[in-house]
Structure 1
Amino acid sequence: MSRRKLIGTTSSERSDINCDFMETSAPTKIILFGEHYVVYGAPALSVAVNQRRHVQMEMQKCGKGNEKMEIINPVYDEGGVIYPDGRSEGHKHVQMHAAIYKEIYNRTHKLEGKSFRATFLGGRIFKGMGGSSALGACIALALYKYAGVDVDREEIFRCAQIGDEIDHGGRPSGIDARTVVHGGMIKFWREFNPSRYNFEQMGIALPKDTTIIIVDTYRGVRCNTGDLVMRFAKNNGITKKPDELSEEERKKICEPYVKIYESALRELHINGNAKTLGELMYKNHELLKKNGVSTPEIEEAIDIIKKNGGLGAKITGAGGEGGALIGYIYKKDLQSVMDALKKSGYDSIELEPTNDGVKVERE
């Protein structure tokens, strides 16, 4: 770990204080296929992408009992202070990081007498990309490094999942944390009796000469994931919880989507048929639209992509108001599609799949 002055302080303010510095990063993710249907047992595909979150962590020694971590989030102004007993001050989003800090502090007993400052970097992340999970994984990795404890990716996943439970207000599937920690493409599916999620690492490859963009439809209002899961159920005529349904009932709900998923798997390689894969994305989206989780803004953005040569497009994540979508296009059409979206007020970012999970960038 290098020695440098604290970020955000002038030399006159902190000229006598040096600190250890480390930078960690983690990818974000998109759901390529399977939103909502995964709740009822269908397989879904999550892909780590190169729009990474970075955490610059600085440590300085402090008196025992004065341990804390200051969190600075210059992009969203959602900072605060967290403590090793799990307390937090400031924005509500820092509560998830307080839970991670408490877990590692108590687990290692090697962070006493150390105080931290964590600065979040990496630009804007759209809804559904797992940005919070990525930051949690970055913090967990840095804290274990500062504690001098070597851990594997499963332990970083476990800690990131602890944070996600706070952020989501309940037990999440784990796909966000799993993808940002491990990288690559991950197949995940839910089992019942007992209820659990399974994960399988898979190879990633889009057909040649194609790329993916993510599009933001935020207009000042966002719909939370829980409400959208309920909306999907209502539009399907589902009145029971997923684990209260019979296996046959769940199979009937998922059947239209599973056919799309199985066909898509056959095209997800360098020599795959790009047009077929794009058509399958449109079909997956039509199912989601039919079940009430699209919006006029999402539909407008998809129409723009289609009219400008897009191969396919669909919601990624839960959808709803302020939700994001992905567009699948030939690389030669990238700029024209993004320009057309921008003209109508929609921000977009080109994404590349990545096999790199959470890692130390500098120390």
Structure 2
Amino acid sequence: MPQQLSRSEPGSTKTREAFPVRARAPGKIILSGEHFVVLGAPAVAMAIDFYSEVEARPNDKSGVRIGVDVPLRFLAKSDRASRVIDSKSFLEPLRIAAEATLDRIDRPTQGVDLNVDCEIPIAAGLGSSASTTVAIISAVSKSLGGIYGGTIRFKRPSSVRPVKIQNGPLLLLCDTGIHHETKTLVGSVVKKSKTEKGHFRDHLAQAREISRGVLKALKTGDMEDLGSLMSLNHELLQRIGVSHPKLDRLVTAAKRAGALGAKLTGAGGGGCIVAVCSNTKSREKIARTLRRDGGTPYRISRDLHGVDAQFT
């Protein structure tokens, strides 16, 4: 029998029973923007069909207990990946998210067991932490959330605008197997922006133009233009020092194999590239090329729904 969570309904003194809830939230790729968001430029991001799933099961004890299940293919990339999964640095934000949600719904002493199942590569620039956090929030409360489906334009501090597109690009993701720390990379870019103000002023202006062009290409369905702009974005990220030799090698290999364009996605320093393909036959050829070059390719599609939570 499910445990009770005595939660008042708005305008009522009645309480309702809290059953276990399973929530799912997508990962993401960044089509343009990346580090320049921190400096005020817009970014264009797309949700993809890699997911984090969380089951929240209320119990009669105080505190949050978390179980984590991550596919072995993502743990086998490096020894460091295993340490990340097992470390407090990975689990602590998840616990904080759950406890903050319990506080928000006025049940700070309610106990909850969380089972996290993440198929998104960890520390690869695909939003695994954000996806898992939002799935936890949604599963615990079934009323909060912050991961959109589809495609969005984002600009600091909190401007989020969904982008309507008719037909999304045919995409191929490729993981380098090299993991990174977003915080360190963002910090290095912010520091460099202060010591190289003239260069970064030009970089920021170009980043804004690229994001505007990406939005236009998505709306008009001009995939060749989208690919060219994504490649320009990669060159810009190279110039600010956040790429990696393997990322550059895979981007070059993808384009030589027929990709309309390719770029790193996320913070850089490792992680993944994303390539725009002209058709499914071309995508298969590019995937074979990237695999030969030491990458792990994935055929991805847009996620249109965002976070979803259902009673189990």
- Shorter-chain TM range is 0.7 to 0.9
> Which of 180, 184, 199 matches 2:160?
199
Match of 1:156 in 2: 145
Contact 1:41 1:250 in 2 (8 A): no
Match of 1:188 in 2: 154
Change (3 A) 1:197 1:309: same
> Which of 211, 230, 238 matches 1:261?
211
Amino acid of the structure 2 residue aligned with 1:108: I
> Relative contact order (C-alpha < 8 Å, sep 6+): which is higher?
2
Match of 1:143 in 2: 140
- Tell me the CA shift for residue 262 of structure 1: 2.4
Q: Does 1:224 align with 2:220?
A: no
3-state SS of paired residue (1:156):
coil
> Which of 64, 69, 77 matches 1:68?
64
Contact 1:28 1:49 in 2 (8 A): yes
Q: Does 1:309 align with 2:258?
A: yes
Identity of aligned residues (%): 26
Distance between the aligned counterparts of 2:214 and 2:104, measured in 1?
Answer: 43
Match of 1:341 in 2: 290
Match of 1:46 in 2: 45
Q: Does 1:239 align with 2:195?
A: yes
- Tell me the CA shift for residue 296 of structure 1: 1.2
Q: Deviations over 1:215-273 (max 9, x none)?
A: 11124xx342343335445666x328xxxx8xx9975442223232222222113x522
Distance between the aligned counterparts of 1:299 and 1:327, measured in 2?
Answer: 12
The CA RMSD measured in Å over matched residues stands at 2.9
Q: Deviations over 1:136-164 (max 9, x none)?
A: 1111112114xxxxx3xxx433xxxxxxx
Contact 1:235 1:292 in 2 (8 A): no
- Tell me the CA shift for residue 114 of structure 1: 4.1
Match of 2:230 in 1: 281
TM-score (norm 2): 0.80
TM-score (norm 1): 0.69
Match of 2:36 in 1: 37
Match of 2:7 in 1: none
Q: What aligned pairs does 1:12-27 form with structure 2 within 5 A after superposition?
A: 21-27=20-26
Contact 2:175 2:295 in 1 (8 A): yes
- What 5-or-longer segments of structure 1 have no aligned partner? 4-18, 81-89, 146-150, 158-180, 191-195
Change (3 A) 1:318 1:91: same
User: What is the total number of aligned residue pairs between the two structures?
Assistant: 286
- Tell me the CA shift for residue 298 of structure 1: 0.8
Contact 1:126 1:216 in 2 (8 A): no
